[in-house]
Amino acid sequence: MAPPAAHCPDCHHPIRWTRTEAGRRLAVDPDPDPAGNAAVWRDGTGTLRSRRPSADLPLTGWERLHLPHIATCPARRKQLALPVGVTRLDDHRKNRRTTR
């Protein structure tokens, strides 16, 4: 049985905290996602662990891919300010789609 999910302090969506190979904490979205880049598994002590799969160390059978929450957090995307003179391409693409 999985422990209850924590919640992101910025957007309040559920997250899971993992411990990376370097010993740092990484928040991931709670549901596996094939587009993810964090391999997540539960170690022998019940701790959620994460690592980045590579060509040398591919995903194993007991790991599932998850997206780091920082990549999907709607509140974080709003907080990211671009330097002066830099255009956000997503905004431009959205406007081009609506004008066609």
* C-alpha closest to that of 70 among 22, 27, 35, 30: 27
Q: What was the pLDDT predicted at 92?
A: 66
In tens, the pLDDT along 30-58 reads 999 999 999 999 999 999 999 999 999 99
Cα 90 to Cα 2, 9, 65, 77, distances in angstroms: 36, 25, 26, 12
Q: Is 0.75 surpassed by the pTM of this model? A: no
Could you identify the residue written with the tokens 């010993």?
A: 23
Cα–Cα distances (Å) from 99 to 1, 37, 91, 92, 96, in that order, read: 50, 34, 13, 11, 5
5-9, 56-60, 62-66, 80-84: least confidently modelled range: 80-84
Who contacts 67 (Cβ-Cβ below 8 Å, separation ≥6)?
28, 29, 33, 35, 36, 37, 38
pLDDT per residue over 74-99, tens digit each?
887 665 667 788 776 766 665 554 55
Distance, CA of 59 to CA of 57 (rounded, Å): 7
Domain boundaries, the chain: 6-99
